[in-house]
Amino acid sequence: MVERMVTAGRGTAAAEAAAEPAGPPLLVAENLEIAYGAVQVVWGLSFKVAQGQVVALIGSNGAGKTTTLRAVAGVLPLRGGRLELAGEDITALPAHARVARGLVLVPEGRQLWPRMTVEENLVLGAYSPALRRRVGENLERVYAMFPRLKERRHQLAGTLSGGEQQMCAIGRGLMAEPRVLMLDEPSLGLAPRLVEEVFRFVREIAAQGVTILLVEQNVHYTLEVADYAYVLETGHLTLEGPAVELRENDYVRRAYLGA
């Protein structure tokens, strides 16, 4: 059974309502069942991402977090369940149609084209005809956020540092003008100083009004930047609540914060 942080010990309808993410839901996942072939990885997962919020999926390795983002993006088929974006049922839509509607994934491991330049990688994020008309404008926005990318715009992406590659991957996602930007392990493999920088960028993107669904192993930073969080364990949702309350939860502190 899922424990909702703000309802523990209260059990009233008002408390139940207070537990949900604030604001109108932009992305809704209902009872997602996800598998790799015959091996099921996620069971009955439901969550909401409210307009303008940073919502996090946290959990240990193998919990099903990356699998969930891939399924929401349309890269991995759903075995069951339903997805809704801004009131539209997108369950049957292919990945490119979801991107066109503003649901954009920045994948784990960055997945840049190493023998293409930084700017070529960024432009690939604006693949649709409508976006191509605004490539110059969106490039300037990305370069304003990531000045180092502008300095290295003619450099091959494969020659960048890990932190610069992550900036490029996030910038490529922003080129698609996302309504919901899904970030999968953005700090993976980075030095502590660069981890802090990545989370500063997450805050900046959120401050610009982009809704974010974040998967990240660094739970400490994640709960600092998130508004609301869901805890996944072995493919099941076990805990959810406002991030500020999850930070103080004894189980979360022991299991994920090293307290």
pLDDT digits (tens, 9 = 90+) for 81-103: 999 999 999 999 999 999 999 99
Q: Is 39 exposed, middle or buried (0-12, 13-18, 19+ CB in 10 A)?
A: exposed
Query: What's the mean pLDDT in 10-26?
Result: 51
Instruction: Please say if the pLDDT value at position 12 is more than 50.
Output: no
- For residues 42 and 227, what is the distance between their CA atoms, to the nearest angstrom? 23
Q: Where are the alpha helices (DSSP H) in 24-161?
A: 65-73, 95-100, 118-124, 129-132, 135-145, 147-151
Instruction: Please say if the pLDDT value at position 20 is more than 80.
Output: no
The CATH class of 25-257 is alpha beta
**pLDDT tens across 103-140, in order?**
999 999 889 999 999 999 999 999 888 899 999 999 99
What region does 31 belong to: left with phi over 0, alpha with psi -120 to 50, or beta? left
152 pLDDT tier (thresholds 50, 70, 90) = very high
Instruction: Tell me what pLDDT residue 24 has.
Output: 78
Domain extents in the chain: 25-257
Beta strands at 228-233 and 236-242: parallel, antiparallel or unpaired: antiparallel
